[in-house]
Copies of this chain bind each other. A is one copy, B any other.
Amino acid sequence: MSEQGFVVTPWEVTGVVDYERLIRDFGTQPISDKLGRRLEKVLGSASYLIRRRIFFSHRDLDLILDDYDHGRGFFLYTGRGPSGPMHIGHILSFYFTKWLQDKFQVNVYIQITDDEKFLEEKRNLSYQDTQNWAKENILDIIAAGFDPDRTFILQDTEFLGHAYPLVLKVARRINFSVVRAVFGFTNETNVGMLFYPSIQIIPSFLEKKRCLIPSAIDQDPYWRIQRDVAAPLGYQKAAAIHSKFLPPLTGFQDKMSSSKPETAIFLSDDDNTVRNKVYRYAFSGGQATIEEHRKLGGNPDIDVPFQWLYMFFEPGDSPIERIRADYRSGRMLTGELKDILIERITTFLHEHRARREKAADLVETFKREGALARTIWEMDFRDR
């Protein structure tokens, strides 16, 4: 991998990601000004994620908005691989998806890919590990505030059997050449992983409407396959909207990793831990001394605390631009910038965890008993 090189696959993100090149390599579309404005109009308070191009790339988002405008509707699908505790980087997509649900009033399907995380050999998780993390992660996902009657959380190991006829129909249309080309699978890849793409694209077929998938861009290879098999199976090609990765606390290299706690703020981190991590590890674009900083100013483009505020924690355009200007000019010191971030993160985590406290009572609703969950469990997949 060259110095400018980077790798983005569903199982690996290394290097410094060049998002423009990803758009070219993956064959997706940048969100144009016109398309961005169409979406911002509906999103209102959540529109900053589009305006700032934190969600920066898409497939067929224009068709989704057409479907919405013409009353045909659409639905949302996103997911989580339960391989460890969730951090700030993981939860961003879920909050965004929840905001999309609020604004568009649509159904959301959330897939918990516990089977994939077990099959992924290098993780070496026991089956029970994946079940424990699924349980924990689902509480965090519910805490994002989804509508219990319009949201179905499907955990693969529980749901696969029910949808198996449809999974088979999908699997019959994907061969080894395809998964090798799309995912870089090899002769040594286990047959569970080879089969797994047929499972990951199932939620996009749970309704005959068009599906919009908000996810980090590393998941896009699955949607490429979905778009190839959808039409012959009588479904619509999934649309997607891709987010950038919130950079690791330690700088723009690679992505936040649960196995390197210093790179991430976990949703369970207490106030002290948050404060210590940001102070100690957050990569700063500031100068070495206060004197130099006052004189030369900081560089917000490489400053992780600034980027986290920009990408998630400061929705207001005037405040964020004020921070940017103050920091660049040297009026705002690194410590002051970090304090702002710490305050935002701890407030966010307090609110998140307060909702998480109540989430346990809602698990059965989202998985089985809510209106949407019931509809899907009552569906006969032999006919689909």
Q: Which residues of B contact A162 (CB under 8 A)?
A: 161
- Kindly state whether residue A197 has any CB partner on chain B within 8 Å: yes
A198-B187 contact, Cβ under 8 Å, with A164-B115, A172-B119: no
Binds B, one of A178-186, A214-222, A300-308: A178-186
| Max chain B C-beta neighbours (<10 A), residue from A115, A168, A179, A186 | A168
User: Is the pair A195, B187 in contact by a Cβ cutoff of 8 Å?
Assistant: no
**By DSSP majority rule, is chain A's interface helix, strand, loop, or mixed?**
helix
A195-B171 contact, Cβ under 8 Å, with A157-B165, A160-B160, A162-B161: yes
**How many A residues touch the partner, as a band?**
35 or more
Q: Which residues of B contact A189 (CB under 8 A)?
A: 175-176
Q: Which residues of B contact A131 (CB under 8 A)?
A: 382
User: Is the pair A177, B187 in contact by a Cβ cutoff of 8 Å?
Assistant: yes
Q: Which residues of B contact A266 (CB under 8 A)?
A: none
User: Is the pair A191, B168 in contact by a Cβ cutoff of 8 Å?
Assistant: no
User: Is the pair B187, A175 in contact by a Cβ cutoff of 8 Å?
Assistant: yes
A188 to B174, CA, bound (A): 9
Name A177's closest neighbour in chain B (CB-CB). Answer: B187
A175 to B128, CA, bound (A): 23
A162 to B188, CA, bound (A): 27
User: Is the pair B160, A121 in contact by a Cβ cutoff of 8 Å?
Assistant: no
Closest chain B CB from A296 CB (angstroms): 54
A70 to B160, CA, bound (A): 41
- Kindly state whether residue A194 has any CB partner on chain B within 8 Å: yes
- Kindly state whether residue A192 has any CB partner on chain B within 8 Å: yes
> Residues 110-142 of chain A: 1 if any B CB is under 8 Å from the residue's CB, otherwise 0?
000001001101000001100100000000000
User: Is the pair B188, A176 in contact by a Cβ cutoff of 8 Å?
Assistant: yes
Number of copies: 2
Q: Which residues of B contact A168 (CB under 8 A)?
A: 115, 118-119, 127, 157, 192
User: Is the pair B382, A127 in contact by a Cβ cutoff of 8 Å?
Assistant: yes
Q: Which residues of B contact A121 (CB under 8 A)?
A: 172
Closest chain B CB from A24 CB (angstroms): 27
A190-B173 contact, Cβ under 8 Å, with A160-B161, A164-B160: yes
Name A167's closest neighbour in chain B (CB-CB). Answer: B192
- Kindly state whether residue A322 has any CB partner on chain B within 8 Å: no
Closest chain B CB from A315 CB (angstroms): 41
Q: Which residues of B contact A172 (CB under 8 A)?
A: 118-119, 121, 190, 192
- Kindly state whether residue A169 has any CB partner on chain B within 8 Å: yes
A174 to B187, CA, bound (A): 10
Name A174's closest neighbour in chain B (CB-CB). Answer: B191
Residue of B128, B164, B188 touching A382 (CB-CB under 8 A):
B128
Q: Which residues of B contact A177 (CB under 8 A)?
A: 187-188
Q: Which residues of B contact A192 (CB under 8 A)?
A: 168, 171-172, 195, 198
A175 to B176, CA, bound (A): 12
User: Is the pair A164, B173 in contact by a Cβ cutoff of 8 Å?
Assistant: no
| Max chain B C-beta neighbours (<10 A), residue from A127, A180, A185, A190 | A190
Q: Which residues of B contact A157 (CB under 8 A)?
A: 164-165, 168, 382
> Residues 77-108 of chain A: 1 if any B CB is under 8 Å from the residue's CB, otherwise 0?
00000000000000000000000000000000
A sample of 25 inter-chain contacts (CB < 8 A) reads A115-B164, A118-B168, A119-B172, A127-B169, A128-B382, A157-B165, A157-B168, A160-B160, A161-B161, A171-B190, A171-B195, A172-B190, A173-B190, A174-B190, A174-B191, A175-B187, A175-B188, A175-B189, A176-B176, A176-B185, A176-B189, A176-B194, A177-B188, A191-B198, A194-B195
Across chains A and B, which 3 residue pairs bring their CB atoms closest together, nearest first? A161-B161, A171-B192, A195-B195
